[in-house]
């Protein structure tokens, strides 16, 4: 565990693990539920087949990823 560091000394943390947590599963069901909750049904998040053609699969919402920080 990293001790508290003053913002001015943040560079001292380069190369160190900070805020490590257990893995969190972000599967398509979670992405779809987030899309329903936010109304963001953009195809890159919810259209599995189309996303596979262009990117190899869907991409989780940025805000979904940020919402997992407390984990």
**pLDDT grade, residue 3 (50/70/90)?**
low
Its pTM surpasses 0.85: no
Which residue's structure tokens are 């805020």? 19
User: Under a CB-based contact definition with an 8 Å cutoff, are residues 62 and 45 in contact?
Assistant: no
Q: What percent of the chain has pLDDT over 90?
A: 69
Digit-coded pLDDT (tens) for 49-69: 999 999 999 999 999 999 998
pLDDT at site 45: 98
**Residue 21: CB partners within 8 Å, gap ≥ 6?**
71
Which residue's structure tokens are 């990293």? 2
pLDDT at site 49: 97
**pLDDT grade, residue 1 (50/70/90)?**
low
- 3-class secondary structure, 34: helix
């Amino acid at each position: 565990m990293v001790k508290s560091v003053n913002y001015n000394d943040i560079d001292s943390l380069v190369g160190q693990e900070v805020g490590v947590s257990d893995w969190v599963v972000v599967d398509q069901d979670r992405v779809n539920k987030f899309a329903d909750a936010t109304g963001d049904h953009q195809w890159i998040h919810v259209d599995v087949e189309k996303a596979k053609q262009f990117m190899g699969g869907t991409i989780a919402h940025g805000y979904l990823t940020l919402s997992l920080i407390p984990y």
